Amino acid sequence: MRGPEERPAPPSPRARPRPVRSPCSVPCRLSCPSNGRARVELGAFEQIAAVLAVCVAAGAMALLLRQPLIVGLLAAGIAVGPEVLGLVEATSEIELLAKIGISLLLFVVGLKLDVRLVSKLGPVALATGLGQVIFTSVVGYFIAIGLGFDTVPALYIAVALTFSSTIIIVKLLTDKGELEDLHGRIALGFLIVQDIVVVLAMIVITASGDATGDLAGEVVGVVVRALLLLGAVVLFGRYLATPLTHVLARSSELLVLGAVTWAISLAAISILLGFSEEVGAFLAGMSLASTPYREALSGRLSTLRDFLLVFFFIELGTLFELSSAIEQLNAAVIFSLFVLIGNPIIVLIIMGLMGYRKKVSFKAGLTVAQISEFSLILVALGVTQGQIDNDVVGLVTAVGLFTISASTYLITNSDAIYTRIEPALRIFERKQPTASVDLDEEAPRPEYVVVGLGRFGSTVLQELVDSGDEVLGVDFNPRNVRSDAWVVPVIYGDAEDPDLASQIPLEQTRWVISTLRRLEPNLQLLSSLRRSGYQCRVAVAADDDDIAEELARAGADLVFRPLHEAASPLMDLVHGFDVPE
């Protein structure tokens, strides 16, 4: 979950060894201790290179063993950290790259969020979010007391157990393609509720450690700053976002650069206002969600986002302290089982009472079956306030890694698990479930998609419209996208984008028609469509027979010649005049 603007450093930090100047005449990074053995001092660049190498090896091993990639990355973080190989510490460089990755992740989530759904999912998100926070904190407190913890440490542990990891949940649901499903939207809703709770918790901790702290004033200040930030984002999204992106879209590279700059800038402003970077990046994405470029931006940023998120998992792994986890293994296991089992059950109960079907409730409940990386921030803040000791930090760190690893398996295999335990879940569902939300009531459902809206493409699109067909246009030229001449939806898209198929609603599409006459874009479009698994037919344009044959071999169902097609009606007219009377 989220943290305040100043994140305290993890407890008991291990300082990086100061490089020792080599007595050699040649500059190098070898330190020569008194025992005479040379030891390599890794700089930031070498550390990142080593981290990436270990991540690739651990990720490949995880895939070979058919394990979730996130588990492999967490294992890599522990391996390169100070407890095992000692290749890296929790350095500022790793933390910076992790922050940028987190910001891009939440920015893309905001891009895909339909604001109309907020009012529909607000009640269930609020009830489930607050219900889970209250249940986990109360029960967690009594479990901690039962295990022999004093009152203040028990309170810290209980509150730390309530927060779920936005980054882990969004990453897993995105990889499964379930973020835009009903349970994914509900999960995102109660994560926002947890955002609010964690900010308030940080305020209470800070004020309680300061004799002159004004708790009421701090809360009012947070509310005012939040309203100002939200108001500024709404105004930007309503009046500036679309015209500004039209200008930037004249260059696809500039459009992506502008989007990344906006995401990181608003994340930085959010930190300055006392919130987390996730809040700012999420709002930045929401402000661009109404522009015609949101799907293209989402596709273009996915690779960069996934690369930078690697450093988040590395940073998380470097915080693990094996000795502390072993000392408190029994307590860590008990708290982990409570989070893995108790949190999903309370979500099942609340959503069942609100009339949701058991499968939706079950899959939404699994998303809270772990604690957040910001739970570590909370307990670290308690250490700086002198209210708890480092043992609590070690315990919460162990619970975090245990629950994140275990919930990764649960979410990844949620459908198979649901099938096995479905009979036992019937007690969490009403006899006649009443809750229903249409997530796609206003989404386009085209029968035909026309890619390329030049002269010929515009004619094809208009012919389909005149025939009464449901049509969607896709074009790379921002002027065509923003034109008022279209009577059907037109979105921004690049046929050479490998993720274009995931940006277009193709569920009910019969034909995708590309009027582009270059070979490479059409080959990329065919590859993207086939890789995505959609069964719609594809028609592509070609200028000569050689290109037509290559496109047919690549899987095109129909190859047409635009110039030939345009010339045929003219020749028919000309020949008509040659017919003797």
Task: Note whether residue 283 is domain-resident.
Answer: yes
pLDDT above 90 as % of the chain: 19
Name which residue leads in pLDDT, 84 or 550: 550
Mean pLDDT over 205-226 rounds to 68
Q: Which of the four pLDDT bands, split at 50, 70 and 90, describes residue 428?
A: confident
Task: Note whether residue 438 is domain-resident.
Answer: no
Kindly tell me if the per-residue pLDDT of 40 is higher than 60: no
389 and 295 inside one domain: yes
Q: Of 69, 88, 107, which marks where a domain is finished?
A: 88
Range of lowest pLDDT (14-23, 247-256, 257-266, 382-391)? 14-23
| CA distance readout (Å), 334 to 131, 146, 241, 323, 347 | 21, 11, 49, 18, 20
Task: Note whether residue 244 is domain-resident.
Answer: yes
Task: Note whether residue 1 is domain-resident.
Answer: no
Q: Are 448 and 464 in contact (CB under 8 A)?
A: yes
Task: Note whether residue 308 is domain-resident.
Answer: yes
574 and 465 inside one domain: yes
The CA dihedral of 244, 245, 251, 255, to the nearest 10 degrees, is: 110
99 and 54 inside one domain: no
78 and 114 inside one domain: no
Q: Which of the four pLDDT bands, split at 50, 70 and 90, describes residue 462?
A: confident
Kindly tell me if the per-residue pLDDT of 443 is higher than 80: no
254 and 305 inside one domain: yes
Could you identify the residue written with the tokens 């408190």?
Answer: 328
Q: Are 551 and 540 in contact (CB under 8 A)?
A: yes
Q: Which structure tokens are listed for 214?
A: 């004004």
Task: Note whether residue 434 is domain-resident.
Answer: no
pLDDT score recorded for residue 342: 92
| Residues of the domain holding 25 | 17-88
Q: Of 428, 459, 489, which marks where a domain is finished?
A: 428
pLDDT score recorded for residue 581: 52
pLDDT digits (tens, 9 = 90+) for 56-78: 998 899 888 877 787 888 888 88
263 and 180 inside one domain: yes
Neighbours of 65 (CB within 10 A): 9
Cα–Cα distance measured from residue 92 to residue 198, given in angstroms and rounded to the nearest whole number: 24
189 and 327 inside one domain: yes
**Rounded to two decimals, what is the model's pTM?**
0.69
242 and 388 inside one domain: yes
200 and 341 inside one domain: yes
Domain count across the chain: 3
Kindly tell me if the per-residue pLDDT of 465 is higher than 90: no
- Domain containing residue 248: CATH number: 1.20.1530.20
pLDDT above 70 as % of the chain: 82
Half-sphere exposure of 30 (CA within 13 A, CB side): 12
Name which residue leads in pLDDT, 505 or 436: 505
369 and 480 inside one domain: no
pLDDT digits (tens, 9 = 90+) for 106-117: 888 788 766 666
Q: Of 36, 68, 88, which marks where a domain is finished?
A: 88
Element (H, E) at 148: none
Could you identify the residue written with the tokens 């990329």?
Answer: 524
Q: Are 241 and 290 in contact (CB under 8 A)?
A: yes
Q: Which of the four pLDDT bands, split at 50, 70 and 90, describes residue 276?
A: confident
421 and 554 inside one domain: no
Task: Note whether residue 264 is domain-resident.
Answer: yes
Kindly tell me if the per-residue pLDDT of 579 is higher than 60: no
112 and 55 inside one domain: no
Mean pLDDT over 536-560 rounds to 90
* Closest listed residue to residue 164, CA positions, set 391, 358, 346: 346
pLDDT digits (tens, 9 = 90+) for 317-362: 777 777 777 788 899 999 999 999 999 999 999 998 888 888 889 9
Mean pLDDT over 279-288 rounds to 87
- Domain containing residue 492: CATH number: 3.40.50.720
Task: Note whether residue 521 is domain-resident.
Answer: yes
Residues in the chain: 581
Half-sphere exposure of 428 (CA within 13 A, CB side): 22
Mean pLDDT of all residues belonging to the chain: 80
pLDDT score recorded for residue 366: 92
pLDDT score recorded for residue 114: 61
Cα–Cα distance measured from residue 382 to residue 202, given in angstroms and rounded to the nearest whole number: 9
